[in-house]
């Protein structure tokens, strides 16, 4: 055991450390979304491990800090496991804020319909980000997924939440049209 150079052990340590990294920043998330091991058989120590890391925050400086922190952690864990580590950027998108007036209108509509509003900073690569980047006023409204599971075949939403969402979307469309008429 003392002679192993286990790339998966280094990756596993990083998978846990990114939680700490995200926890240092109030609106940040870090996710290791995939891990592939090679040779990928039960009897062989993992010689190579490929991972993906998704980091999100509404502040570009915080994102840069988290990226540096993850890289530094990966180097330390690789050294502890006597491995090497290489990083390559697959995709990078700067934080794109949504329109403050539309955010306010969206929150009003949700409050009117549901009685409470939960603001959710979001960094996903939705089409809405590209629309906002093009200078078109944009906002997103999320509907709660059961058990917090989304982007998965078992994603589901309670029917009463769907009804509330339809009502809130309807109000938001009407308020947005009225808002646009004043612009």
Separation CA 120–CA 59 (nearest Å): 14
> 106 and 168, same structural domain?
yes
Domain of residue 64: give its range: 7-80
Task: List, in order, residues 6 or more apart from 149 with CB less than 8 Å away.
Answer: 155, 156
- Is 42 within a domain? yes
In the listed set 80, 112, 138, which residue is the last one of a domain according to the structure? 80
- Is 36 within a domain? yes
Q: Which 3-state string (H, E, C) describes 55-86?
A: EECCCHHHHHHHHHHHHHHHHHHHHHCCCCCC
- Is 2 within a domain? no
Residue 141 scores a pLDDT above 90 = yes
> 25 and 75, same structural domain?
yes
- Is 46 within a domain? yes
In the listed set 15, 46, 80, which residue is the last one of a domain according to the structure? 80
Given this model, what pLDDT does residue 47 score?
97
Is the overall model pTM greater than 0.95, yes or no?
A: no
Q: Residue 120 CB: number of other CB atoms within 10 A?
A: 10
Per-residue model confidence as pLDDT tens digits over 26-53 = 889 999 999 999 999 999 999 999 999 9
């Amino acid at each position: 055991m003392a002679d192993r150079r286990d790339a998966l052990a280094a990756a596993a340590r990083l998978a846990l450390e990114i939680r700490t990294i995200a926890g240092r920043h109030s609106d940040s998330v870090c996710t290791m979304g995939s891990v592939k091991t090679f040779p990928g058989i039960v009897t062989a120590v993992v010689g190579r491990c490929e991972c993906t890391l998704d980091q999100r925050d509404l502040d570009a400086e915080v994102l840069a800090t988290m990226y540096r922190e993850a890289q530094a952690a990966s180097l330390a864990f690789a050294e502890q496991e006597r491995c090497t580590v290489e990083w390559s950027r697959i995709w990078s998108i700067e934080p794109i804020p949504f329109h403050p007036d539309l955010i306010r209108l969206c929150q009003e509509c949700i409050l009117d319909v549901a009685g409470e509003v939960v603001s959710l900073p979001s960094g996903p690569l939705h089409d809405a980000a590209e629309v906002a980047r093009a200078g078109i006023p944009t906002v997103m409204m999320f509907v709660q997924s059961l058990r917090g599971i989304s982007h998965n075949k078992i994603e589901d939403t309670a029917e009463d939440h769907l009804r509330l969402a339809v009502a809130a979307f309807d109000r938001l469309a009407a308020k947005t049209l009225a808002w646009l008429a004043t612009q």
